[in-house]
Homo-oligomer: A and B are copies of this chain.
Amino acid sequence: MTKRAKTDRNGLTEQQYLEKYNPGIYERPSVTVDMLIFTVMEQAQNNYRKLSEKSLQLLLIQRGEHPYLGQWALPGGFVSVDESLEDAARRELFTETNIDNIYMEQLYTWGEVQRDPRMRVISSAYMALVDRTALNVQAGDDADAADWFKVSYDVLEASREDQANGYKQEQRIRITLTNESTTLTGVVKITETVQGHVRRVEREIAENDGFAFDHLKMIQYAIERLRGKVEYTGIIFNLLPPLFTLSELQRVYEIILGKELLAAAFRRKIAGSVTETEEFTKDAGHRPSKLYRYNVNQDLN
C-alpha cells in the first residue's frame, strides 16, 4: 500500500476525496498584483562639459475610472484563477513596458480589509527594475495615461518616545513624484513599537495628494527595500545599460541611497563586481571614462 492509497476517516483515498471535493461557496477576496517599475533616466545638461543628471523614475498610471478617478496609481491588475502570481506580474510588466525579461521580485502582499472601496482586494506588490536604454517603447501610448515620474524621498523627522519596557518611534517620510505637468506628494508615517522584545512596524498614510488606493505606502516600502538591497546585492545593475562608467554607477548608487559617496572608497568597494572593458566614453568634454560591465560571476562582498 503506497502512501497515496491511505484512506481518511470516511474511507476515501486521496483520489476519491479530490474527485468529490467541493470548494464551497465561501466568499473569497480578489487578488491583484501591483507593479513598481523603476528606471533611471538622465536629463541633458546645458553645459557641454557637465555630465547629464540622473534621477530615479517610477511608472504610474492615471485612473480613468472610479474609484480615485483622475488620481495616479501603480499599474496592476487582477490575478486570474489559472495564472500564477508571478505570471500575472510578468503579464502586467510586459503590458506596460513592452519588454520581457526584466528583473522583478515580489515585495510584499498588502491585505488590509478596506484597501479598495469596491470590495475586498489583496494585492501582491512586485518591484521591477529596467534599464532605460532597453525601453524601446515609451510608456503612455496605450489607452491609459501612463507616465514616468521622478522620485524624491525625504525623511522629514523622527521622534522617539520611551515607554515601559520599550519605546515607540515615529518617522515621517515625504515622497514626491514629479513629471512635466504634475506633482504628486504625500507623507507616510512609519511607527515602530517595541514592547519587551516584540517589535512591530506599521505604515500609515499621513498626507496624500494625488495617489490612489494605498499605493503611496507601497511606493515608500519599495524605495526602502531598494535602498536596503542595493547595499548587499547586485540588484542595481538592472538599472544600468550593459556597459557603463564607474562614475555613472556611482551616481546611480547616490540617487538611490540619497547621499554622496567618495569616489576612491566606492571604486575599491565595487571593484570585485565589475570587469573593465577596452572601451571608453567619447565626446565627453573632459577626460574619457573607461567602460565596465557587471561581473556577473562575482557578487558583492
Where the two chains meet, the residues of A that have a C-beta atom closer than 8 Å to any C-beta of B are: 3, 6-9, 12-14, 17-18, 21, 23, 26-31, 64-71, 78-86, 88, 101-103, 106, 108-113, 117-120, 122, 124, 131, 162, 166-167, 194-199, 234, 237-238, 240, 242, 294, 296-297
Contacts and interface: CB of A to CB of B under 8 A. Distances in A.
A12 B167 contact: no
A53 to B, nearest CB: 23
Contacts of A234: 199
A106 B196 CA distance: 20
B81 A120 contact: yes
A280 to B, nearest CB: 21
A13 B65 CA distance: 10
Contacts of A12: 66
A108 B108 CA distance: 7
Contacts of A79: 29, 111, 122
Contact of A198 (B17, B83, B238, B297): B238
A198 B101 contact: yes
A5 to B, nearest CB: 10
A294 B240 CA distance: 41
Nearest to A21: B118
23 contacts: A6-B69, A8-B64, A8-B69, A9-B64, A14-B66, A14-B69, A21-B119, A23-B118, A26-B80, A28-B30, A28-B81, A31-B111, A79-B122, A85-B111, A101-B196, A103-B197, A103-B199, A106-B109, A109-B109, A167-B296, A197-B238, A197-B242, A199-B238
A12 to B, nearest CB: 7
Q: Which of A64, A80, A122 has the most CB of B within 10 A?
A: A122
A10 to B, nearest CB: 9
A81 B29 contact: yes
Contact of A124 (B26, B109, B197): B109
Given A112-B84, A296-B166, A237 B197 contact: yes
Contacts of A197: 103, 131, 237-238, 240, 242, 294, 296
Contact of A3 (B3, B8, B70, B122): B70
A117 B113 CA distance: 27
A297 B31 CA distance: 39
B131 A111 contact: no
Nearest to A236: B197
A17 B66 contact: yes
